Chains A and B, each alone.
Chain A
Amino acid sequence: MYKHHSYNNLVERKLQQLPAADTDGLWSNMEAILDQQMPQKKRRPGLWGWLFAHKAWMVATLVVGTAAGTTLVYVSGGSSPAAQQATLPGATDHRNTVATLAVTPALPPAITATAGQREAAAPAPTGNDASAPSALHPIQNNRVYTAAPAPVTASTQNTTTATDHTIPAAHDGTRNTVPVALSSNNTQSEVPNGAEQAAAADNSQPLLWAATTQAIAAEQQAAPVVDPAAVRLDTETLEHLSQHIAAAQKRGRLPQEKGPYVGVVAGLDLSSVEFGTMSTGNNKGIIAGYAFNNRWSVESGLLWNRKNYTADGSGFKADGYVPQAGLTILNVEGMSQIFEAPLNVKYNILAGRHRLFTTAGVSSYFIRKESLGVDYNFNGQVGYENRVYSDVSKHWLSVANFSLGYSCKLGSFGSLRVEPYVKLPLRDLGVGNMRVTSTGLNVGFIKMLR
C-alpha cells in the first residue's frame, strides 16, 4: 500500500488546479443534510445571548441610562429650584452651615434641617422663644428657625400687610426631616413648643409621630451646648458666596468636576489597510470613566464596530496561505464586526463649559465576525473566493487610540461630545492578518454620576 508512482502527484496537482469549489453553497447543502441526519439539541440562549441576538442591548442600555439619568435628576433636583439655588458647597458640615438656607423671604418656607442642625441649634436659648425646646437657635438679626412638625401659622406683624404663611408639616417618617418656619423677632409665633407638640401629637397624630417628636426633643435637650457663633453664617457672607459662585459661573469657571461618568457614543468609521483606500463603517457603544479633576480622567467602555476595508494583496497574510509561483492576489475586500474595549486617558486642554480635550490609549479587539473576499489570478486564470468567519479572534491591547475632541456642557443634563479619532494597529488583525487603520468621528452624550 502507498506505493507512489511518478505521476500520481502530477494527476492530483493537475486536478487541484480546477476552479475552487463553492464551499459556502456546498456547506449550505451539507448543513441541511446534517440538520436532518444529526439534529442539534436546541439550547435556549442565555439572557445575554438573547439580548445580543435581538440587538436589544442597545435599547436596554438606553432605557437603563434614561432611567438612571431621570433618577439622578430627581434625586439631585428633588428640592425646589429656589432651595437648590440656596444650597452651598460644604453643606454637610453642620457647624458652619445652614444646609438649606432660607435667608430671604422669597425662599419657600419649608426647609429641611439636618440632625446636626438640630443638635447645634436646640440648646441655644433665645430671648424670643427660650422656652421652646424645639426652637432652633436664632440666626442673624432676629431670624429664628423653628421646628414645626405640624402645620404652622406664622404671622408677621411688622409688615404693612399681615401675611400668614401656612406651612405643611413634612411627615415623611424621617427624623432628620423637620419642616422649619421662618419668623422675625417682631413675629408672634404660634408655633407650639416641644411639650405642646408632644401633647398635640398624642391627641391628633399617630403614636409613632408623637414618640419620634419626643425623642427629637430629648435628643436636643441632651445635646452639648454649642457656641451659636460657630453655626452663625451671616447674610453678608452668604450673599458674598452666592455672588462669587455666580461670577465664577459667568466666567465659565465651574467647580472641580470629580467622579465617575457614563455615556453613549456613535459615529462614522473610515478604515483602510496600511493607509490605502478607505471604506466606510460605523461604531456605537457605551463608555464609562472617572474624572480625577477638571483636567484628567480615564475612560473605558464597550464599542460595537463594523469595519469595511479594501486592499491589494500585498498585505494579505492569512494563516495557511502560502504564496505560490504564478499566483497573484489582486484584491482583498474585508468586513469585520468587532467588539472594542478601549482604555484611554483623557486630558482637557481647555476646561470649562466648552472643553477641548485629547485622549490616548489602547483598545482590545474581539472580532465576532469577519468576511473576506479574495480576487486572485493563478496562471492567467482569474478567480474569486469568499469566506465568512465567526468568533474569529481576540486581540488584546492591539490598537493605539488617539483623539482630539470638543465637548459642551448641556446644563445639568450632561455634556455633548464630538470626537475625531484615529486608531493605529499595533499588530496584524483578523483572518487576513492585515494592519487595518481606522479614523472617524464619534458623537456622544456624557453624564456625570454625582
Chain B
Amino acid sequence: MPFFKSTLSEHDLVHGCRRNDRRAQEQLYKQYCGALLVLCRSYTRNEEDAVEVLQDGFLKIFQQIDRFDRSKSALFTWMRTIMVRTAIDALRRRGQQAAAVEWTEDYEPSIDAAVLERMTAQQVLFLLQRLPETTRAVFNLYVTEGYTHKEIGILLSISEGTSKWHLSEARKSLTHSLKAKERA
C-alpha cells in the first residue's frame, strides 16, 4: 500500500543515487518496490522469478541512473521501462521463445471485464501465471504497457504476426478461464 513516500524529493533521490548514496538508493527502492513488484509478477511464473527480475531491474536502475533525463520522461516511467526490459531479458535467458507461429487474422476475443472485476487479485495473478511465458509477455506488453505488435516483435525478436498470435492465445486462454470461473 502506498502509505509512505520518501522524505527526499525526486531530484534529491536521483542525485543521491548518482552519488551511489545507500540512503537515497534505499528510499528510492522502498518507494517504488511495491509497484514494480506488481509489474514483475505479471511477467513471471512465480514469486521467486518476480523477485529476481525486480532485483536485477533495480540494479540496472542504480547502474544507469546517470542516463535518466527528467525532460524525456518521469522517473517512474523510466524505471518501469527498465523493469520491463529486464523481465524480457529474463525471458530470453530462459530460452522460452515461442515457436514462430504467424497470426494473420484480425480477431481479438474479448475479455469479460465484469468477471475480471469480481475475481480476487490472487486469482487474476494465477490466471496470468498460467499463460506460457512469451504469451504472457506479449499480453502484458500489449495490454498493460501499450506497445504495438511491431514494437513487441522487436523487443522479443519475433515477427509482428507472432506477437498477434500470442496476444490472441492469451485472450483465448483468459477468456476460457474466466468463463470457467463464471460457471463455477
Contacts and interface: CB of A to CB of B under 8 A. Distances in A.
Contacts of A11: 42, 116, 124, 128, 143-144
A10 B116 CA distance: 8
B4 A8 contact: no
A26 B33 CA distance: 9
Contacts of B103: none
A387 B4 contact: yes
How many of chain A's residues touch chain B, expressed as a range?
35 or more
Interface string A8-19: 101110111110
Given A10-B117, A15-B121, A18-B125, A1 B62 contact: no
Interface residues of B, number: 46
Interface stretch (B85-93, B94-102, B146-154, B156-164): B146-154
A327 B1 contact: yes
A298 interface: no
B104 interface: no
A409 B116 CA distance: 77
A40 interface: yes
Interface string A360-401: 000000000000101010100001010101111100000000
A20 B38 CA distance: 9
Contacts of B143: 5, 7-8, 11
Contacts of B3: 318, 320-321, 374, 376, 385, 387
A29 B55 contact: yes
Contact of A40 (B20, B26, B42): B20
Interface in B36-50: 37-38, 41-42
A141 interface: no
Contacts of A201: none
A37 B58 contact: no
A21 B22 CA distance: 20
Nearest to B27: A389
Interface string A318-331: 11111000010000
B59 A37 contact: yes
A390 B7 CA distance: 9
Contacts of B35: 16
A27 interface: yes
Contact of A376 (B1, B23, B29, B59): B1
Contacts of B22: 31, 34, 40
Given A27-B29, A27-B33, A321-B3, A18 B41 contact: yes
A357 to B, nearest CB: 38
Contact of B151 (A1, A41, A322): A1
B181 interface: no
Contact of A7 (B26, B111, B125): B111
Given A1-B146, A10-B113, A23 B55 contact: no
A2 interface: yes
Contacts of B34: 20-21, 23
B41 A15 contact: yes
A23 B26 CA distance: 10
A75 interface: no
A15 B30 contact: no
Interface in B121-177: 121-122, 124-125, 128, 142-148, 151
A33 B26 CA distance: 12
A4 B124 contact: no
Contact of A8 (B23, B146, B151): B146
Contacts of B42: 11-12, 15
B74 interface: no
Contacts of A15: 38, 41-42, 121, 124-125
A338 interface: no
> A-B pairs with the 6 shortest C-beta distances?
A320-B5, A2-B146, A17-B121, A14-B124, A319-B5, A15-B38
11 contacts: A1-B151, A3-B146, A12-B38, A15-B42, A23-B34, A26-B55, A31-B26, A34-B62, A318-B5, A321-B3, A392-B7
Interface of A: 1-8, 10-12, 14-18, 20-21, 23-24, 26-27, 29-31, 33-34, 37-38, 40-41, 318-322, 327, 372, 374, 376, 378, 383, 385, 387, 389-393, 431
